[in-house]
Each structure stands twice: as C-alpha cells, then as structure tokens.
Structure 1
Amino acid sequence: MRIVMIGSGYVGLVSGACFADFGHDVVCVDKDAKKIAKLEAGGIPIFEPGLDQLVAKNVAAGRLRFTTDLSGPVGDADVVFIGVGTPTRRGDGHADLSYVHAAAREIGAALKRFTVVVTKSTVPVGTGDEVERIIREANPSAEFAVASNPEFLREGAAIEDFKRPDRIVVGIEDERARGPMTEVYRPLFLNHSPILFTRRRTSELIKYAANAFLAMKITFINEVADLCEKVGADVQDVSRGIGLDNRIGSKFLHAGPGYGGSCFPKDTLALVKTAQDHDAPLRLIETTVAVNDTRKRAMARKVIAAAGGDVRGKTIGILGLTFKPNTDDMREAPSLSIIQALQDAGATIRAYDPEGMDAARALLPDITYVASPYEAAEGAAALALVTEWDAFRALDLGRIKAVMAAPVLVDLRNIYKPAELERLGFRYAGIGRAADAEAADVARAAE
C-alpha cells in the first residue's frame, strides 16, 4: 500500500520505517527541512536502537522516502497517518492540537481520491471529529474516512513493540476505512497480533486510559516505597510479592524517582483536563499527576540527606540524564528537577549519560558534562544514579570510591545491593529499603 506519514519525529519515523519494512511504499513528511536533509543523507535525528539500520535498509530498497512537501505523496496515497507532536499547551494543560489541525488542513487540500486519514498522534477524545471537519472544510468534494490508530511504543524498544505488538487498536466511524486499515497491518497477522476495531472516540480514549493506568501503577509503587522506608520493609520484595499475582503483574512496579518522558506526563495531564471539561473528574489520575510532580524534587532531598544534610559548595555526581535508558529523550526527565533542586541547595553538578548529553545541554547549560561515570564521581560528596543504563550496572566500585570526596551512592533505581556497597565501605541509599530509613535518621541526627 501507498502510505504517507506526516511527521518524522519519534512516532512517525519509527512507524514509517516499520511499515516500509513490511513491504509498503512509505513517504515520511516533515516541515523541518534540516531534519529531512539529515534523513536523506543517512542520518537519524533521534536515538532508538536499531532504527538507523532499519531506515537505511528500506531507503536502499526504495520503499522509504523523505520530503518536506506533502501535496504529491498525499494525492497518491491509500492511507495518510498524522504523527505530529501533541505537547502540553502552555497555560492550561490541555494537549496542543495545532500541529494536528494544520496537518489536517494540508491533507484536505491535497486529497485527490478516496483516502483513509489516520490520527496516530496521541489526541484527546473527539479529535477525529475535528480532523474530519477540517478536511471537509478544506475540500468539500474530497472522498475520505478518518480513523484513529494510537501508537503503543516504548522508547528504547519501539521497533520490537511495533513489529510484535500486544494489540492494534483502530477506531472508525466509516466502514470504508476497515479494509485499508486491515491491509496496512496484515503482515502482523502472522504474529497473531490482535486487531481491535472500535468506534473512533473509544480508540482515542484507550490510548489515554492505558498511559494513565501505567503512570498510576508507577506512582503507586513509589508511594509504597516511601512507606517501606518508614516501617522497615523492602519495596523490591513487596513488588515481587504483589507482581506474582497475575491480576496485578510485575511490570511498572519498579520504584524510582518518578515517571517522565514524552507520553506519561502530558497524557495524564491532558486526560485530567478532558475529564474536568466533561464534568467527570478522574481523582486518581489527578493525584497521580500531583504525586509524581512532587516526587522528583523529593529525590534531591534524599541525595542531600545522604550527603550529610548540606550540599552547599559540594560536588554531586549524576549518572543518567534521560528519562529512561536506550533513548536520548530528555522530556520531563526526573534528572531535570533533581539537578535543579540540588543547584538550588548550592551544589555543583558533574553528569554523565551514554546518549543524552547533547539534548541535556540545551536544558541544563550550567552543569559539567563528563566522558565517563568515573569522571562524574571525581571529587563528589555523593553520586546519584538516576537512569538505569546497562553501562551503570557493573561499575568498578573500587575505582568510584577512590576518586570521590566521600563514598556515598544514592541509587534511585535500586540497581545495587546495599550489603555489597556497605561491604565496600560506601554509605548507600536506595528507594524503599529498610536501610534507607536508618540512613535518613542518621542524617537528621547530624543536622
């Protein structure tokens, strides 16, 4: 099939490359001329494992092309996907749909024959109705159907998620869209991936509800971790104990510094705003948003306590800047709030991340970026492990200790075992472990 992907960011580029790998003819469109030029030259504007090889393979095969002009490709397309950004709108927390609406207007003007127009961007309930209205206004004689097909891609594992999804959700109001959408995803039927056809508004809500539930699950275990520290329990054992229940499951039950990234923060907030607008407030999600926002700076207080209660004039090492491993995405990363709070307390920051430092420099210009974890630890009164990159799982702890001003490790991802660190002479603080409560008591007593 002839597919056009409007937007060549994270969702659009991964989806377009994977569709091309299925054998479809794909054109990825983006307004950013520099991004398109980079793609045409063989570069990749984002870090996603395996994406560079996938793009190169399908460009070489002639199945994947890039352009800044959508008019020609859209006129020839069977299916046009809208995969542009929907960031939080400044001022009120709603999703900013200006890019979606602009794409719809341009698509409408370019349509020449029956085409299925699909919103793949994460959009609030009712967006498909507005997209349909905009296209109809731009081209009253156009033959088209608007569908919803939300993405469920995890950064760092997006290609695997696209090719082996646990579900494919398609929302339609016009039955003419069912055939083309089935054909688009036919290659996945070999993997027995279930395709769920729903009404369009239902599909839009599925995406938001899924992300909100996972965000709530993360926030739940983070609050349980705080209780564990107070009562002398171990959150990792609690997570295992409840995760073995199939009704609960073990995923998203890893305590940490709070969720971030391109999806959960903006999607939970947008869902809250949509619910309030429709007089059906989602109190659990409202609380999830509030708890997560405050948690990140609370992690800085944990670092300060571990460093003796005062970090003014001291150096703090930071391991990991991106919101999760295997991505260079800094959007809403916990490190941003943690570092800001540490700087507010007077600390100097030395930081290392395997992939995220270029993106971080624009957001955190006044910290020192170094070339290795060991350089981050040099002269540090405490070393905080913020993102669980594999590169941080087997550090030479003796070497780390030798270069630090004080042997203090604050493990915000519970990668290391407290007993091991203590045996090596470190003062260790993790998340939701009994020893953390004792460390906090010692720090308070020293104040």
Structure 2
Amino acid sequence: MQQSHAVIRSRRVVLPDGERPADVLVRDGRIELIAAHGSLPAGDALVTDLGDTALLPGLVDTHVHVNEPGRTEWEGFATGTRAAAAGGVTTIIDMPLNSIPPTTTVANLATKRAVAQGQAWVDLGFWGGAIPGNTGDLEGLHREGVFGFKSFLAPSGVDEFPHVEAADLEAALAEQARLGALAIIHAEDPKVLEAAPQVPGAHYRDFLNSRPDDAEYAAVAHLLDTARRTGARVHILHVSSAAVLPLLAQARADGVQVTAETCPHYLTLAAEEVPDGDTAFKCCPPIRDESNRDKLWAALAAGEFAAIVSDHSPSTPDLKLLRRDGGSGDFAKAWGGIASLQLGLPAIWTEARRRGHALADVVRWMSQGPAELVGLTGTKGAIAVGCDADLVAFDPDAEFTVDPGGLHHRNPVTPYAGRMLTGAVRTTWLRGRVVDVDGEPFGAQLSRTR
C-alpha cells in the first residue's frame, strides 16, 4: 500500500526560484510543503534522504511518437513510457501520427486512448492532427481534450498523415484560432526540398545537403505570414536551423503568438561527427554543423526556445538500414527518426554543464517550459506547493556509457550508442509513488484544461 505522505530531502532541490537544500512534503500525490532542509520530523511519514543527489521536477516531454496502435513493433505505450520513466520523464504528450489510425478524428482518439489504458508508466496526453480535409474534425477533438494540432508542411513519411498545402494551412489555422487551440508545425518547405540535390547513399553530407537550412527558413516564413493573417497561436517543432531565429524574433516583436522548441540531438550532436552510413543519426530536419549548434545554444540561453523535447521517433532496426545489421546505410532511404526518450536528460546535462549552465537551466528547458507550453503549469513541471509530486532523483556527477541494449524503448537503436554521458536518474516518482518499470503501471491519461 502506498503511504499517503512522505518527506523527500536533498541538499540540491531545484525549485522555481533556484537550487537549495530543502525538505519536500508529499501528501496524497501532491506537494504540500517545501521546508528548510532537515526541518520536517519523520513522524509516521516515510523519509527519503537523497544527500547530495539532486531532486528535480519530473520532465515533461511534449514531442513523443509512441506509434501504437498500428506500428507497435516500432515502439508502444508500455515500452515508450518505461523508457520515459527511466529517463526522468513523468509526462509525455503523444504525437498524432505513425500510429494507425492517426489521431485526426474523435473516433481515432478514442481508439488511441483505449489502447493506452493501463499501459503507461507515466502520465500521458495526446495531440490531435490537422491534415487536408479534416478541419471539421478539429472542434470535436479540441472538446475531447487534445493539447493542440500537428500539421506537416512537407511530406510526413507516412501516407495516412498527408501534409497541408497553403489553403489547407490557412483553413486549419483559422479554425484553431477560433477554438483557441495551439497549432504545432513541422516546418520544412516541400518546394525547397524538391529543388535540393538528392544524392542517395551513405555520405551524411549528401543527406544534409538534401534538407538545407533554406527549407526550414521558407516554411517558417510562410507559416508566420499565415499566423499573422489568422491570429493563430503557433509552435515550431524541432528547430534544427539557427537561420529561422531572426524570423521568430521579428514575428514576436510584431505580436505574432509563436513559440519554438529544439531537441537534444540538435544540441549535443553535430554533422561533423556523424559517420557515413550510420543511419541511427538520420532525422528530419537533420543534425547540422557545429557552428549552427553553437547558435542554437546561444538562443536557448537567451530564452528564445520554449522547450527542449525529444522528438522520440523510433522504428524497427530494418527500417533504419543499419550497416551493423547488414543494411545499406543509405541516408536517403532510411527511416528518419531519433530514439532518445530515456537519454535526453543526461545528454543535455552533459553538454549544458560543459557550457557553464546549471541544473536550474535544464529544469527550465525540459520541465517548466514544456509544461507551460501545453497548459500544465500548476500541476506539472515544477517542485512547488500544489503541483503533482512528479520528482526525479538525479546524480549530476555520475558517468555512464550508453548501451542500447540496456535501454527500455522497444528497439535498441540510438545515435548515442557508446557515448559517455554525465548524469544518472536514480529514482522517479509519479504523483508521489516510486515508478518501478518492472512493476505495475499507474500512469494517468491527461486532457487539456485551458
């Protein structure tokens, strides 16, 4: 039986106003009190003293492709949420595509929710999808509590989730503005992609040239113009190119409601270090050069990104055409997606610490920011009175080498294989309960509240 109240104590509690020693009193799944370190008597409460191990709020990852039902062999709610919990992520929002059916109608959302029931080791919400021809479905999905609507401006890679043309985008954003919904957009321009050199094969530089910065720039420029006309609130997904940052700054200055995110792979990996033929590194948009990565970090430090999220987009190894498995290593043909849900926190902490950032910065980028983006402030993303007791014991000095076989996501493919990372998750609590990835899941399904 889970105790109704407990005290978790650490000399490094990362709170909204900074890091300090503290006791956190948890009662009935919520944070009831934050007190001076060592000041709360045990009484009949379970006391967990973490010593110098840091206590962070659980991460909120608003960009996860679970792929169930329909492509559960790619991932699945059970494996994906286990990986999340092991990586300190206590809330995920599932993307509307790569599952079959996609989350583009109320009936399809009901199918997704039914399949997920009883399988989640963390709390779970859903995005809806805005595709050609389903503008009339958006209101119903919004009423059912999806957190917003995803669209692609270029082909998505799966036939059942087509990309929107200019007229489709205009209609979808106008409807979402009417509903007060958040539009989340994969922004690459198909015309620029079609005009770029398409050279198949194992050379990463050829793949990078096939998805140039101009594709992101043109798509973001078009999206922002449409957002200006419609008044929609838009969020740019997985920004890989620093070239779009001036566009975002100008749009905000003009009063456009626009936010953006980036991902661990764009902040910790660089094109110069991607081995030819190692298609575990393939994603769209692509991992770009080191100088671009530095600009993303500068923008992050300046507060220009709302969040760092995984864009966990796994597939079966055969679709990655991995050379280690006898595949061709052809970047043009391999599935484009990075699997990193369990590794995002240590990957970002490793690079952030090297660049002089603190744990409080990482919490702002990976917990507080994503929670704010989807309207979960007050329940998720912070160690604060009244919030869910979603907590992570994190050893910021521990080092480990990534072994894909030791990860919980379904298929052992990751570009971080063999990398030394700093920072290890020791314990994850969900609403005050320790998450045991070998035990019974007790994650809840969430709905939008604003």
TM-score calculated relative to the size of structure 2 = 0.28
Higher helix share: 1
Structure whose alpha-carbon radius of gyration is higher = 1
Higher strand share: 2
TM-score calculated relative to the size of structure 1 = 0.29
